[in-house]
Structure 1
């Protein structure tokens, strides 16, 4: 017994404590929010061993050596292609509205490309409309179809999409699809992937989940983009996964998922193709940059089309750009700011920007689902409500399903839509995509949709919120403790 005791002490002295010391130093040296730093320190010291393992797995944005090398080798070809498209000066917008100008300048400086004009953009507000349009565009494709999704689940209209893709591949259309491994675990264990591959569709399981890769890269790094590109001219971006809500998570107790999608025609689709090519080469090593831009691809409505910017975030892309973009847009607001998000666990900086906007007289409205599918997120988000209400922010709890739409409307003119949730994972970790649109007509369309959400929501008043039970407040604070990881 004494020998076992001595061995345990020796292990602690030679292995465990040196590991804890190294992890502590790494936590302190990393540039991250103070709340995140303190939370990680508490976890590794309060929960011995498990805390250290959790930090190794989830504490740092680590891609793995092979992916880091790929990212470095892929980016130069992307930069060269972007330089070539800059030769077509007539597609770039030289000026923006007052509310959009700061954000477009930020994106131009950090991404190396200014806003793209001459795009036709259509807002699709329900799954049936979106999937029907997608099927029609697949059936009309002439050259290539490229997709990336976090979740792909068979059933309903999704089966029609799959059928259309198989038919397209059979008639010689190049079809490439990337789907996240964790988000679509059930799909990759069904017969659908084999059926699609047999038809000639190149189907990639992105960021494969594998126990043996546990210590090689972060296991919770996810491909969260939702993009469709057809012939480098038509594209879709939004919050909708490739699912039919009538058959998706029906037992979760939150109702049908509510999403919006934008369908775009014009040169912005070619820019999306560059981002897709980057992701594809990271996964496969194959270079598939879009064909060199020509007038047929990039010319649409040079004077009348919407002005658009694409923000790609995640490892390999400009750091912190999505958070900087959100903050810039919020500080640009002068009259009205409307946000919709399924998961609200913002960083301290983003929370400060939202509250400051309300305190300087901007009407700020946030629409959040009353119920969502993640217990920790649901309760952690409520820990922010008191500060929001005290600052004058109006909170609406959507009661007609799980509001999955991620949108931001600024003064009815600047619009941001895409895959980004207002939580730490989207802001700092996942591969995400956001489309920015500077157009008053589109802005009015988005506000109309957002007010429809509000009409199906219950307003939360400060008086009602202050009356919530003590046990609610305790759960909120406990879940808030984990907010840096949600």
Structure 2
């Protein structure tokens, strides 16, 4: 019997539909977390054609073959550059479990644990920029700047003016900025023009320019934030170099202001931060710039390791280090994270710590700037509260963007990494693992200040929230697994 055109098209549609669904069952779970695989399969099963298109754009968190090869070479270069640096002996009062965490980071990243070092925590935007400007004014050889976002404006003028003065006296200024992020924000052209006019060397990280063969998953981003000056002084933390309103009209209308934590280091750890910039610069330019190899003058009562992570590093280094620290803590854990969407391992580690009697406190924002991430984070609050985790919500309209953790009295972590799967699997991040009571005291002092501007969330209040909010939380939790 001869098929009509309609029947033939229907048969073709059914065949393709079934083939796409069957292919998804084979392709999607490969080397992927079960929760993530199930979420992707759900999307594809609901609408195979659209689902496969979305999966093709966002389902692969691997770098291109060329960049993977380069990242392997970078890890080799990092290993060679730090081979002659021995891990420092633990401080006398440090916990017995810390050397194991240090060894894990050294094995995964080749980054040494060094010291002594001094560190100053800066908690206000203007003081953060002024601290960097003062150090840039001391620069004699180079200033290396790497940020997720850099925007010239009235509030960031003190930093850009310091760069101009440095360039004018012959200091080499190199700037790395995440490409896709920077083109999405206001004043991109003005910022580029300002840097080029002063003679700074500006390069985009992870550029997305398909017409030039520069392509990867759309949301693979370089989220690192660091400044290195002459290999002597370094800065890192959660800061983006942009007005605290992020200059979006909707943010200004809502009165949103981002609040960050920024740390200034001197001494030995700065060399490791410099190695990370050096490797990122080479990844984007194929140019090996100068690397401070001399031992910087060291003072202070802290030791520290750089914890690099990203798609080019095997083993999700930041996730592994954070898990080890949570499991090891014996008395107190403080977590400050604007985007807290943990994977299953981190969720169990944190709730288990609370259940075994550890005092665990999570600081987050009362208000969110990213709708789905905000609701995905809220979907974990009930479980955390029932386990005994204290949840402290910073009062709106401030977005608490700081990212740090403390463990007992002598170990802390600060950097660019959130507690979410984006930071663990998609973003290039930098964190500092710091040994020493003085840093814990500074960060706990910061947390104590946050608490004065916050409210404590209770289980009763949380369970009484509107039904519509609960629905959005549950839906958003599904989307958080799409890695």
TM-score range, shorter chain: over 0.9
- Which shifted more, 94-103 or 1-10? 1-10
- Which shifted more, 459-468 or 179-188? 179-188
**SS, match of residue 388 in structure 1:** helix
* Alignment CA distance shift 1:188-1:207 (3 Å): farther
**SS, match of residue 189 in structure 2:** coil
Distance 2:30 2:246 in 1: 46
* Contact 1:222/1:430, CA 8 A, preserved across alignment: yes
Q: Deviations over 1:270-292 (max 9, x none)?
A: 1111111111111111112514x
Alignment correspondent of 2:228: 229
In structure 1, list runs of 5 or more residues that go unmatched.
Answer: none
Distance 1:216 1:152 in 2: 22
The yes-or-no answer on 1:47 pairing with 2:24 is no
* Contact 1:425/1:485, CA 8 A, preserved across alignment: no
Distance 1:163 1:3 in 2: 70
Alignment correspondent of 2:315: 319
Alignment correspondent of 1:101: 99
Distance 2:269 2:462 in 1: 44
The yes-or-no answer on 1:200 pairing with 2:199 is yes
The yes-or-no answer on 1:300 pairing with 2:295 is no
CA drift of 1:262 comes to 0.4
Alignment correspondent of 1:59: 59
* Contact 1:139/1:168, CA 8 A, preserved across alignment: yes
Distance 1:374 1:228 in 2: 27
**SS, match of residue 191 in structure 1:** helix
CA drift of 1:188 comes to 6.9
Determine which of 318, 332, 337 is the counterpart of 1:336.
332
* Matched ranges for 1:150-161 at <5 A: 150-161=148-159
* Matched ranges for 1:124-163 at <5 A: 124-163=122-161
Alignment correspondent of 1:268: 269
The yes-or-no answer on 1:422 pairing with 2:422 is no
**SS, match of residue 154 in structure 1:** coil
Distance 2:314 2:231 in 1: 24
**SS, match of residue 71 in structure 1:** helix
Alignment correspondent of 2:407: 410
CA drift of 1:198 comes to 3.4
* Contact 2:326/2:349, CA 8 A, preserved across alignment: yes
* Alignment CA distance shift 1:74-1:5 (3 Å): farther
Determine which of 420, 428, 436 is the counterpart of 1:431.
428
Alignment correspondent of 1:165: 163
- Which shifted more, 135-144 or 166-175? 166-175
**TM-score if structure 1 supplies the norm length?**
0.92
Distance 1:328 1:267 in 2: 24
What is the aligned-residue RMSD (CA, Å)? 2.3
Determine which of 449, 453, 472 is the counterpart of 1:452.
449
Distance 2:354 2:23 in 1: 43
* Contact 2:416/2:431, CA 8 A, preserved across alignment: yes
Q: Number of aligned residue pairs: give it.
A: 474
Distance 2:322 2:406 in 1: 11
Alignment correspondent of 1:191: 190
**SS, match of residue 30 in structure 1:** coil
* Contact 1:152/1:241, CA 8 A, preserved across alignment: yes
- Which shifted more, 463-472 or 186-195? 186-195
CA drift of 1:211 comes to 5.5
* Alignment CA distance shift 1:174-1:480 (3 Å): same
Determine which of 118, 121, 124 is the counterpart of 1:120.
118
Distance 2:197 2:44 in 1: 48
**SS, match of residue 67 in structure 1:** helix
CA drift of 1:17 comes to 5.3
**TM-score if structure 2 supplies the norm length?**
0.92
- Which shifted more, 264-273 or 20-29? 20-29
Alignment correspondent of 1:28: 29
Q: Deviations over 1:361-381 (max 9, x none)?
A: 011111110111111111111
**SS, match of residue 148 in structure 1:** strand
**SS, match of residue 250 in structure 2:** coil
* Contact 1:412/1:447, CA 8 A, preserved across alignment: no
Distance 1:354 1:2 in 2: 61
Distance 1:451 1:319 in 2: 34
Distance 1:169 1:150 in 2: 22
**SS, match of residue 270 in structure 1:** helix
**SS, match of residue 485 in structure 1:** coil
**SS, match of residue 143 in structure 2:** strand
Q: Deviations over 1:48-93 (max 9, x none)?
A: 312111111111212112212222333333222112x32xx4xx41
* Contact 2:245/2:256, CA 8 A, preserved across alignment: no
Distance 1:17 1:273 in 2: 52
